[in-house]
Amino acid sequence: MISRGYLELGEELRTVVGELVRRARGADELPANHAAALGHLDRSGPATIAELAHACHIRHQSMTAIVHQIAKRGEATAEPHPTDRRAVLYRLTAVGRTELERDRHLRASWLAQCIEDEFGDDTQSIENAIQVLRRLRDRK
């Protein structure tokens, strides 16, 4: 049984990390679901609309609209699925990678400025926090 204190810590950590992610996304220029789809294509390679919808936790119909918009902007290309003639794979293009990297840079720059403003040259506590978060992330 998990003690109440650990549950409260877990809830506080979940809340703060979520709020930080949302604040950092405020620097983004791409819509969140658009960036999520491009990010998945970047990390995992070509995917179908169904796979993207599942990975991004949104409805198939919503992802269809996003993917069509991404393709129209030249950020992804459609190609036949190698084993399923009914399916289409979407692949990130150089344009899409550039847009995604720009958005990631904006987010990282916002965080970097916050860290510099709050901690100056004393970044050891941030480095320690990153290590703790990695340990939590890597738990099975």
In a domain, 7, yes or no: no
Q: Is residue 25 part of a domain?
A: yes
In a structure prediction context, what are the per-residue pLDDT tens digits for the chain, which is 140 residues long?
Answer: 888 889 999 999 999 999 999 899 888 889 989 999 999 999 999 999 999 999 999 999 999 999 999 999 999 999 999 999 899 999 999 999 999 999 999 999 999 999 999 999 999 999 999 999 999 999 98
Classify residue 82: in a domain, yes or no: yes
Q: Is the pTM of this model over 0.85?
A: no
Residue-range definition of the domain harbouring residue 123: 15-137
Does residue 34 belong to any structural domain of this protein?
yes
Within a domain: residue 5? no
| pLDDT score recorded for residue 59 | 97
Decide if 48 contacts 90 (C-beta within 8 A). yes
Q: What is the CATH number of the domain that holds 54?
A: 1.10.10.10
Site of tokens 């289409």: 88
What Cα–Cα distance (Å) separates residue 107 from each residue in 76, 91, 110?
22, 24, 5
